[in-house]
Chain A
Amino acid sequence: MVKNVLVPMRDGVRLAADLYMPDHDTGEPLPVVMEYIPYRKDEVVPGTRFYYDLPRHGYVVARVDIRGTGASEGVNTDEYVLQEQLDGYDAIEWLAAQPFCDGNVNMMGISYGGFTSLQVAAHAPPHLRTIIPMYFTDDRYTDDCHYRGGLLRKYYDVGHYGNFMIAYNVLPPYPEFSGGDWATIWEEHIERNEPYLLKWLAHQTDGPYWRHGSVRDIADRIQCPVFMIGGWRDGYPNPPLRLYQALEVPKKVLVGPWNHAVPDVAIPGPRIDHLHEVVRWLDHWCKDKNTGIMDEPPVVLFVQHSEKPAVDRLDAAGVWRAETDWPAPGAGERTLYLGAGNALADEAGAAGDDSFEYVPTVGVTAGLWSGGLQFGLPGDQRLDEAFSLLYTSPPLEGDLHVVGRPRAVLHAASTASVIGFAASLSDVAPDGTSHLVAKGMLNATRRTSLADPEPLTPGEVVELAIEIDTTAWRFERGHRIRLAVASADWPNVWPTPEPATNRVYRGESRPSRLVLPTVPAQGSAAPPAFLPSPVAMERHTDRPDPPVWEVVHDVLTGRTAVKIEEAGEVRINDSTVVAREYALTASCDPADPASASAHGRHVSRIRRPTAVVEGRSDVLVQASATHFHVTIDLELSVNGALHHSRSWVESVPRVLL
C-alpha cells in the first residue's frame, strides 16, 4: 500500500489518496478502481475485502478523501457539491496518467461512493472506464436519507450520517501520513467545515438544490458501462431498476434481499461474493478477458418469499430470478380496489368511505431506514396495523409474483391542511402475522408537485398517487395481500404537525386502489449461480455488545420514545484505536405531533500512545407547529482538554411538512 499520495486538483488543492497495490509488483501498469468518499481513509478497517481482494486480481484500488475531509486539503461544507464532482474528474485523469495505471480508471463504492461514481460519470471523464455504484440514489430528494414523498426523514441525519460527519470533519489527519502539513490541513477543516444538515433542512421542497447531483435527470450524460448493485431492505430500493431503464450504455443490475451493507456482509442473506462478480466485470471491460459476464442476463433480482417476520434474522427466504431486460418480458399489472368491509377486491364496489385517526407514532414496526445501521429489519406489522386503516384481499388462489414498483391511488380527505399518507403493502400469512413487503409515502400538500406544495383544504377529496418502494415478492397461495393506510411512519419520517382525522373514499367514482406490478412465474432467463460470501455473520442479538433499538411507551403520559444506540471500536493499526458511538432518541407525544423531537449524539475517539483526540457532536431538533429548532454542539478535545468548540442554533420554518 502506498499511503497518502497527494493528487493535485486544477485549482491547486491536493486530495489525499491511499493506493492499494498488488503484493508482487511486476511493474506492469494496471487498471485502477477509485473509491471517492468523505469517511477518512486513514481509518479504514483492516482486512476490508474490497481493498485487498481487487489488488490480488490485478487492480490498483485508490481510496481518495474528498476535499476538506480526512487528510485532503480544502474545505467541506456539503455533500455532492459541484466542486467535489470536478475534483473526482481531476483525480481520475491524474490517476490515468500515473505509471502504475494502464489508462483505465473505474469508480466503485457503496452509498456515498455509489453517489459519487454516478455523479462523476455524468461529467464523462475521458479515462473513466466503468462504474460500479452500490446502494445509491439517482434522485436526492425522493430517494435519500433526507426526504420521502415530500416528508422529512431527518432521524437518520440527526442520529447518524448528518451528525457524525460534523465530528468526522474536525478530526485531525494522521501526522505520520500527512507529514508537516497535517496541522495546517486540520486547522482549515476546523475553522471552515460546516454541518451539512442545516442545508438539507433549509430545502424542504424539491428544486435546483436537490436536482443537482440527481443523475436520474442526466442519465444520458453517463458514457461508460454501469454495473449497479442494490438491496430490497436497503434505503435505496428504487434507483437501480429506475436508472437501468434510463441508461443508454452497457449495463447490469443486481438487487438482492440486502440492507445497506455490501452483499458479502448484508442482512438478510443469502450473502454472495459480489467481488467475484466485480472482478469478472472489470476483467471484461479493462482487460478484455472473456469472463462471460456480459453474456449473462443483465437483470438479476432476488424474489422474496413469505416467512415469519423476525427482526433479527440472517437470511431471507426466496429465489434468484433473471430477466433479459427491464421492464421484464411479460410484465403486467394487477389492480385491487379498496372495498367495503376492509376488503381488497378485483372490482371497485359501491361508493363508500372509511376514516382513521392520524396516530403519529405509527411506524415503529416498519424497521429502520437502512443507510448504514447494520440492523433494523421490519417486524410483524400488526402493532402498527392496529392504528391503520386496513384493506385485505381474500386468500390468494394461486401464487402472485410482484416485481417492480407498486403504487397506491387513494382518494382521500383530511381535517388537517398538512398531512402525509403512508401506504404499506404486506403479506398476511394464514396465521395472521403480517410481513411488510414495501411501503410508500406522500405528503398530500405535494400531491401535484414536490417543488410547489399547496396546503389541503380540510374536507376536500384529493387524489393521491403514492409510489410504494420497488420490491420483488412472491405472494403465496393462501396468503392475503394487505394495504395498510396510515398518516405516519415514525421514526423514519418526521410527523406532520396537525392532529387529523382522515377519510379514504372508494367505489367506482373514487376508485382508491392498489396497483401491483406483476411478472410471470418464471423469469425470462436463467439466473446465474453466485459464489457464497466467504464472510461469517452472527445475529445482532448474539453479539457480545448488541446495539440498542427500543421503543419506550410511557403509560402515564402516553409519550413514546425510540432509542437507538450503537458503539464499536476498531484497532486500525498497531498504535491506534478508533472508537465510535452513535445514539438517537426520538420522542413523540401522540396527542401533540407538532412537538416531536430528536436528539442525536456522536462520539469519535482516536486513542494513540501520544494522544487521545475526541470529537463529539450533539444535534437536537425540537419541533413546534411552525418551526424546527435546531441546536448543534460540536466539541473537539485533545487529551481531555477542550481544543475547539462551536455551536449552531437555528430555527427553520416548516414548509408544509
Chain B
Amino acid sequence: MKRVKTDFPRRVHEIEHVWIPMSDGCRLSARIWLPEDAEERPVPAVLEYIPYRKDDWGAMEDSTRHPYFAGHGYASVRVDIRGSGDSEGLLLDEYLPQEQEDAVEVLAWLAAQPWCTGATGMFGISWGGFNSLQVAARRPPSLRAIITLCSTDDRYADDVHYMGGCGLGMYMLSWATTMLAINATPPSPAVAGERWRDLWLERLEGSPPFVEAWLSHQRRDAFWKQGSVCEDYGAIEAAVYAVGGWSDAYRNTVFRLLEGLLGPRKGLVGPWGHQYPEDGVPGPAIGFLQEALRWWDHWLKGIDTGIMDEPMLRSWMQERVEPQPHYDERPGRWLADPAWPSPNVETRAIRLGFAGESICGSEGAGHSAGAWCGFGIPGDPPADQRVEDGLSLSWDSEPLEERLEILGFPEVELELSADRPQALVCLRLCDVAPGGASTLVTRGLLNLTHLESHEHPAPLEPGKRYAVTVRLNAIAHAFPPGHRLRVAVSPTYWPWAWPSPEPVTLTVHAGELRLPVRAPQPEDDVFAPFGPPEGAAPVEYEAAPAPSAGRALRYDAASGRYELTWAEEYGHGAQRLLGSGVEFETRGTDFYAIVEGDPLSALTRSEWTMTFARGDWGVRVETSSSLSADAEAFRVTNVLDAYEGDTRVYSKARSLSVPRDCL
C-alpha cells in the first residue's frame, strides 16, 4: 500500500499556471510546485513535459509526484507540450524536433528563474521518458540528469508502431486513435478565456491522425531515426537513470542504454507494467520517489547520497508463475549487477531439435499473447501458451535437472525457409510445467524481409534457406527444476503482428537457443531492497464506478473468424476534481478480427470517447479508427466528431491508402 506523505522538509507552493514564452511567440502552459521560500533559497528545477492535460487528465498522477519533489527542495515543473492541454499551437506528431526545441527553451527559462539554482533535470514515463532522452541528446546547458521510465531509445525497434520490422496490429491504431482524441480536446477556458473555442477549432482542424505518418514509414528510415537516441548515444552527457518493467513494452531500452551510453548511468527493472515503480503492478511496488530524490540530490545538488556507488543495474528476478489473467505481485528477488553487459551473465547455447519440420501458419496463433504493453490490468498477462504452442512448431527440452536463471536477451538462431516472398517469424520461449501449463517467458518477432536490414528490406526467395537470428525481449526468469524449456516458432502472431499478405508455411532446418544464464551472486543480497512506496497526497476527486472491462475472444467456428474485443480499456469511470470542479471521462474499446486462412481479412478498430466539463461548459470528442489491408496496401480510416454540449461542432472522416512495403 502506497504511503501518502504530507510532511515535507519545505512547505510547498503551487503555481497553477504560468506562461513560458517560446522564441516563435507560442506560449506553453506550466504548472509549478516549489518550496515557498525558493526565492530566498533557490532550488534546482525538474521538468516533466508531456501532452496529457495537466489540469484534468493528468492532474491526479501529477499531484502525487511533483509536490513530493518540491517538498524536498525542487521546483517541480509540469509543462503541457505545444498543442496539448493549455499550451498554444499544434501537436503534429510524436517527438518532433519542434517539441525538443521547445523543451530546450523551457529548460533555459527555468534555469533563469530567480528561484532556480540554474541546475535542471528532466523526468517522465513513456512520452516524458522519450523526450527526456531526446532533449538530453541536445545537451541543454542546465540539464544535468534525467530519469527516463518506460521509454525507448529506438523508435522503430521498440515503440508502439513496429516490432522486429512487423507492423503492430495491436496498439499502433489504438494509440493513434487515443492521440487523435487527446489532440482534439480544447484548452481549459479557465486559462484560455474566450479564445478557448478558437484554439479548439484550430486543433480540430490542424491535428492529423498520427497513424497516417506512422504507416507511411514501414521501414527504419529517417522518420524513425529522428528522436532515436541510439543513433548517437555519445550525444547524451547528462546522467541517465533508466527504468523499466518486465510487464511493460519498453524494458529492452534499459539494457541498451546501459550498454550504449558513455556518461553516468543506472538501470532499474522491476516486475511492473507501464507505470511508475511506486505504483507498479504486478508488484512489489517500491519507494521509487525516495530513489529519485537520491538521484536528483546527487546530480543537481551535489549531495553524496551514495547512489552512484551502488550497482549499475538492479533488476527483479522473476520466479515462474502459473499462467493467470492477473498478478498482484510477481514473486522474485532483487539482483545487483555492476554493469551491463554483466560479468555475471554468460551465454549458454542449446541446440534445438528441428530437422526440416514445417509449420503452416494459423491466424489463431497469437490470441493468447496478452497485452503488448501491460498496465497491471486483468487480462494483460499472456494466457496459458498451450494453444499457441499447438499452433506453432515447438521444441521442448528435457526436464531441467536444476534451477536455471536467465537475465537479458535470449536469442534464437534458425536455419529456415519460407514458401512465400513475404513472411515473418514469431519466436516464443516458454516455461512448461510438469502438468503441461506453458508460461510465456519472452518472445521476439522478425519480419523476414528485414533479415539484412530494417532500413533496406528485400523479398525472400521462396524455398531458400536463410540463417535467421531473432533477439527476444529482455527478461529475468527462473526456471524451476523439472520444468522444460519450449521454443515455439510461428509465421503468424495476430493481433500483435500484422499478418503477411499470403498464408505462409515455414520450414525449420536447424536451430539454436542462446540463453543469458546468470548465476546467483553474493552481491544480490548485499544491497538493501528499496524502501516502501510513497508519494504526495493526490488532489481530491470523486470517481464513478468503473464500467466493467471486458476482454473476450470470440471464435466463429462456422466461418473460422476470430474476434478479440478489449472493452472499456481505460479502467475507471467518470472523475471529478473537487478543487477545480472539472469533470472528465475517457472510454475506449479496441477490436481485432481475422479469419483463419485469410490474412487479408485482418481488421482492427478502435473507438475512444473523451468528455470534459466544468459548470455549464462541456465538450466531448469521439474518435473511431479502423485499419485493414489488401495484398497491395493498407487502408486506414479515421473519424473524428467533436461536441460542445450536445451540439456537434466538428466532424471529419479521412481515409488513406498506403502501399505495403515488404510488410
Contacts and interface: CB of A to CB of B under 8 A. Distances in A.
B378 A556 contact: yes
A184 to B, nearest CB: 43
B358 interface: yes
B558 A312 contact: yes
Interface string A362-379: 001100000000011001
Given A382-B390, A555-B325, A431 B505 contact: yes
A382 B436 contact: no
Contacts of A548: 556, 558
A541 B598 CA distance: 14
Contact of B556 (A365, A382, A432, A549): A549
Nearest to A388: B390
A355 B389 CA distance: 18
A382 B391 contact: yes
A531 interface: no
Contacts of A608: none
Contact of A311 (B386, B389, B552, B558): B558
B177 to A, nearest CB: 21
Contacts of A540: 558-559
B107 interface: no
A50 B436 CA distance: 52
B557 A379 contact: yes
Given A501-B435, A556-B378, A310 B553 contact: no
B88 to A, nearest CB: 43
A432 B560 contact: no
B560 A311 contact: yes
B555 interface: yes
A10 B271 CA distance: 81
B308 interface: no
A433 interface: yes
B435 A556 contact: no
A386 B325 CA distance: 19
Contacts, number: 107
Interface string A535-557: 00000110000111111111111
A396 to B, nearest CB: 15
A558 B553 contact: no
Interface string A621-647: 000000000000000000000000000
B359 A432 contact: yes
B475 interface: no
B514 interface: no
B550 A556 contact: yes
A357 B386 CA distance: 12
A356 interface: yes
A557 B360 CA distance: 31
Nearest to A386: B390
A556 B560 contact: no
Contact of B359 (A311, A364, A431, A549): A431
Contacts of B388: 386
B614 interface: no
A475 to B, nearest CB: 17
B44 interface: no
B42 interface: no
A380 B556 contact: no
B186 interface: no
A357 B557 contact: no
A308 interface: yes
B386 A387 contact: yes
A550 B554 contact: yes
Interface in B580-628: 596-597
B557 A552 contact: no
Contacts of A430: 358
A383 B368 CA distance: 12
A385 interface: yes
B201 interface: no
B551 A356 contact: no
Contacts of B597: 308, 310
Contacts of A550: 554-558
A501 B433 CA distance: 13
Given A357-B435, A553-B553, A375 B558 contact: yes
B387 interface: yes
B551 A383 contact: no
A547 B558 contact: yes
A383 B550 contact: no
A386 B389 contact: yes
B119 interface: no
Interface string B542-575: 0000000111111111111000000000000000
Contacts of A558: 325
Centre residue among B386, B505, B549, B597 by max chain A CB count within 10 A? B386
Contacts of A553: 552-555
Centre residue among B378, B383, B436, B551 by max chain A CB count within 10 A? B436
A383 B505 contact: no
A314 to B, nearest CB: 14
A432 B360 contact: yes
A527 B390 CA distance: 39
B556 A383 contact: no
A551 B557 contact: yes
Contact of A386 (B387, B393, B435, B505): B387
A550 B558 CA distance: 7
Interface in B306-331: 325-326
Contacts of A547: 558
Centre residue among A365, A383, A433 by max chain B CB count within 10 A? A383
23 contacts: A310-B597, A311-B560, A312-B559, A312-B560, A355-B435, A365-B557, A375-B558, A430-B358, A432-B358, A548-B556, A550-B557, A551-B557, A553-B555, A554-B550, A554-B551, A555-B383, A555-B552, A556-B549, A556-B550, A556-B551, A557-B325, A558-B325, A562-B557
Given A383-B391, A550-B557, A556-B549, 7 more contacts: A383-B387, A429-B360, A431-B358, A547-B558, A551-B557, A554-B550, A555-B379
Interface of B: 325-326, 357-360, 362, 364, 378-379, 383, 386-391, 393, 434-437, 505, 549-560, 596-597
Q: Give the 4 A-B CB pairs with smallest separation, nearest first.
A: A386-B390, A431-B360, A386-B386, A555-B551
